[in-house]
Amino acid sequence: MNSARDVVDILAVFCAADGRHGNLLGVVRDGRLRPDEASRQALAKQLGFSETVFVDDPERGDVDIYTPGTRLPFAGHPLVGVAWLLDLEVVNPPAGEVWVRQDGEFTWITARAEWAPPRTLRQYASAAEVEALDVPPPGEWVYAWAWEDEAGGRVRARAFPGRIDERGAGRSGGAGACTGGIDEDEATGAAALLLTARLNRALNIIQGRGSQLLTAPGPDGIIELGGRVREIGR
């Protein structure tokens, strides 16, 4: 990393029941050490996680979120992770106020589906089809999903960022930008919110290698998103 002062907590968010899997997250507890957007973006790119979050005010829960390629107003797994790590009751990303609750081994946040970036939600006929998918060529951001048990709300999903950033700028300025070589996202809270809003029901999603995300629609367009968090180290 570019500074000897950098201390980054590494978490796995949306772990399975046995603690495995989950999407890796970097948390910089003292955002003052990286006060400008350029230095934060550089660190997020160097770490290479799908997201890195910088804590600007731990008492207010003010946070700033970056992918390897861009800054985000909202992302699910960084907010679940930082809320668990700092035991916050509220988190404030640029998108808006996010309330937090702890329920046993699960950390839950409240969010709105409209905060999530656009994603192509592509349904398949079976979980086996989703599991057999190859990483698609660069292009659109695809959330592939299928019912494992429709009556029980169980979903099998995989997420393919398409190696594009949120601005749609490519390596040479066109479509198909690099997000730091992330071909598949292990657990994607924003996409889970979009799918929950579309289906309008609670979901138990198994994504990637075996990460677990829980969702539940609430009143006034609010959706709860929950999962387990495990600390990997620093």
Calpha distance 123→90 (Å, rounded): 33
**Is 80 exceeded by the pLDDT of residue 85?**
yes
**Is 80 exceeded by the pLDDT of residue 177?**
no
Calpha distance 65→91 (Å, rounded): 12
- Report pTM: 0.91
Calpha distance 31→44 (Å, rounded): 13
Mean pLDDT within 108-115 = 97
* pLDDT (0 to 100) of residue 167: 40
Amino acid at 27: V
Fold: same for 8-98+229-233 and 115-227: yes
Mean pLDDT within 71-98 = 97
Regarding predicted confidence, which is higher, 139 or 180? Answer: 139
How many residues are there in the chain? 234
- CATH superfamily to which 115-227 belongs: Diaminopimelate Epimerase; Chain A, domain 1 (3.10.310.10)
Mean pLDDT within 156-162 = 95
Mean pLDDT within 116-142 = 95
Q: Which of 47, 53, 55, 83 is nearest to 66 (CA)?
A: 53
Given the DSSP bridges, would you call strands 222-233 and 106-112 parallel, antiparallel or unpaired?
antiparallel
In percent, how much of the chain has pLDDT > 70? 90
Mean pLDDT within 73-89 = 97
CA angle, residues 117, 122, 123, in degrees to nearest 5: 135
User: For tokens 């494992």, what's the residue?
Assistant: 148
Would you tell me which CATH number, out of the four given (1.10.3720.10, 3.40.50.970, 3.30.565.10, 3.10.310.10), belongs to the domain 8-98+229-233? 3.10.310.10
Q: Where are the domains of the chain?
A: 8-98+229-233, 115-227
Confidence at 178, pLDDT banded by 50, 70, 90: very low
